[in-house]
């Protein structure tokens, strides 16, 4: 059986992936399962860089193939902002609500038909230092006028 380590502390995400792979020859491990405490600074210029960095750093300390991801919200009328900075859009210690408020404030005079946006998620499967794969998913929509 092959081990696969998930680079997340999100319990729902861990259970979801464990269920998806339950009929395979893969043992899905969480960071907690191997008592690994990491705090990786997501300082890449792209979500791809962040996904790779998380996977690579966790692989280096665990030696186990890793799946990591990063997601950004890209608003067309704001030239792709907040993008890679989505989780800290309103500041380094901003909450989800802080980020939403800032975005809605910046879009308050923008008509609904121009509020097109997309979530982009990049997943990195990191087998070893020489072998990794990136997968991208896009969900298109628009920013509504209130939370």
> Domain map of the chain by residue range?
2-142
Catalytic residue list contains 70:
yes
pLDDT category at 99 given cuts 50, 70, 90 is very high
pLDDT digits (tens, 9 = 90+) for 11-53: 999 999 999 999 999 999 999 999 999 889 889 999 999 999 9
Catalytic residue among 23, 70, 97, 98: 70
pLDDT category at 92 given cuts 50, 70, 90 is confident
> Mean of the pLDDT values across residues 100-127?
96
Alpha helices, DSSP H, located in the chain: 11-20, 47-62, 96-106
Environment class of residue 106 by beta-carbon count within 10 Å: exposed (0-12), middle (13-18) or buried (19+)? middle
Looking at domain 2-142, its CATH class is alpha beta
Is residue 54 scored above 80 in pLDDT? yes
Handedness of CA 99, 74, 70, 120 (dihedral sign): positive
Average pLDDT of the chain is 94
> What is the per-residue pLDDT for 79?
97
pLDDT category at 146 given cuts 50, 70, 90 is confident
b/e burial code for range 89-99 (CB count within 10 A of at least 16 → b):
bbeeeeeeeeb
Is residue 131 scored above 80 in pLDDT? yes
Is residue 145 scored above 90 in pLDDT? no
Cβ atoms of 2 and 65 closer than 8 Å: yes
Q: Could you tell me where the beta strands, DSSP code E, fall in the chain?
A: 2-6, 26-29, 66-75, 82-83, 116-128, 131-142
pLDDT category at 1 given cuts 50, 70, 90 is confident
pTM of the model: 0.89
Comparing CA positions, the residue from 1, 36, 49, 43 lying closest to residue 22 is 1
């Amino acid at each position: 059986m092959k081990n696969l380590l998930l680079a997340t502390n999100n319990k729902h995400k861990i259970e979801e992936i464990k269920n998806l792979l339950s009929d395979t020859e893969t043992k899905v491990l969480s960071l907690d399962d191997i008592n690994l405490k990491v705090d990786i600074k997501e300082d890449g210029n792209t979500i791809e860089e962040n996904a790779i960095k998380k996977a690579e750093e966790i692989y280096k300390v665990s030696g186990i193939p890793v799946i990591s991801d990063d997601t950004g919200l890209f608003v067309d009328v704001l030239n792709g902002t907040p993008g890679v900075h989505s989780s800290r859009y309103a500041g380094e210690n901003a909450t989800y609500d802080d980020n939403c408020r800032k975005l809605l404030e910046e879009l308050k005079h923008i008509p609904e038909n121009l509020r097109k946006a997309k979530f982009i998620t990049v997943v990195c499967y990191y087998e070893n230092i020489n072998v990794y794969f990136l997968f991208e998913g896009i969900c298109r929509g628009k920013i509504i006028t209130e939370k």
